[in-house]
């Protein structure tokens, strides 16, 4: 077997990107370098714009505001200090966190569960949930189950949470 007959095969897998290179050592080396030069700048760019939720940071932000038991999340603030939207968002956030931590078996509430839990009329609840859905903060599926979106979580952290904390400290 001569030197020119020896082939090298390298398989690279990074997240959803997968590539196999076959050729001489020199050819494969050049192809791998070209692959990394093309792929990694785009991966860095994607990370800069991809909407992700840092669960640990979210939990830290909500310490003392939400507590989660095996049956449900609980908002630990006086309800009279919160708007209907804030209360809804906190409840849905609690479900999300409880599900992500494996404490709860789902990440959504039904409209009826929210009505009972929050003690709001069906009309007020429907109006506020509709507003939150239109804003992309909450999503409703065909079975009338509501859950918070990743955008909703980020928006809550930036817009709702500072206002809630200001009310509590003031």
- Which two three-digit tokens encode residue 59? 């939990």
| Per-residue pLDDT, 5 | 61
Query: What angle separates helix 84-100 from helix 161-169, to the nearest 10 degrees?
Result: 110
Q: What is the per-residue pLDDT across 25-65, written as a single tens digit (0 to 9) for each? A: 888 988 888 888 777 777 777 777 888 889 999 999 999 99
Q: What is the per-residue pLDDT across 123-159, written as a single tens digit (0 to 9) for each? A: 999 999 999 999 999 999 988 899 999 999 999 999 9
Q: What is the per-residue pLDDT across 65-82, written as a single tens digit (0 to 9) for each? A: 999 999 999 999 999 999
Q: What is the 3-state secondary structure (H, E, C) of 126-167?
A: HHHHHHHHHCCCEEECCCCEEEECHHHHHHHHHHHHHHHHHH
* Alpha-carbon span 5 to 8, nearest angstrom: 10
- Which two three-digit tokens encode residue 82? 């919160």
Domains, in order of start, for the chain: 3-49 (no CATH), 55-169 (1.10.10.10)
Query: What angle separates helix 111-118 from helix 122-134, to the nearest 10 degrees?
Result: 120
Specify the pTM.
0.73
- In the 8-state DSSP scheme, what is residue 82? S
- What residue spans of 11-134 are helical by DSSP H? 25-49, 55-61, 84-100, 111-118, 122-134
Q: Is a pLDDT exceeding 80 seen at residue 83?
A: yes
């Amino acid at each position: 077997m001569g030197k020119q007959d020896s082939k090298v095969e390298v398989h690279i897998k990074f997240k959803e990107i997968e590539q196999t290179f076959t050729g001489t050592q020199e050819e494969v080396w050049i192809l791998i370098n070209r692959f990394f030069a093309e792929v990694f700048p785009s991966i860095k760019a994607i990370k800069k714009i991809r909407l992700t939720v840092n669960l640990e940071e979210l939990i830290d932000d909500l310490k003392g505001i939400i507590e989660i038991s095996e049956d449900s999340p609980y908002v630990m603030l006086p309800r009279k200090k919160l708007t209907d939207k804030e209360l809804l968002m906190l409840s849905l956030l609690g479900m999300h966190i409880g599900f992500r931590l494996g404490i709860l078996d789902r990440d959504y509430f039904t409209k009826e569960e929210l009505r009972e839990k929050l003690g709001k009329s069906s009309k007020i609840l429907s109006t506020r949930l509709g507003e939150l859905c239109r804003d992309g903060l909450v999503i409703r599926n065909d079975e009338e189950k509501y859950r918070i979106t990743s955008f909703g979580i980020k928006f809550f952290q930036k817009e709702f949470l500072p206002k809630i904390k200001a009310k509590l400290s003031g």
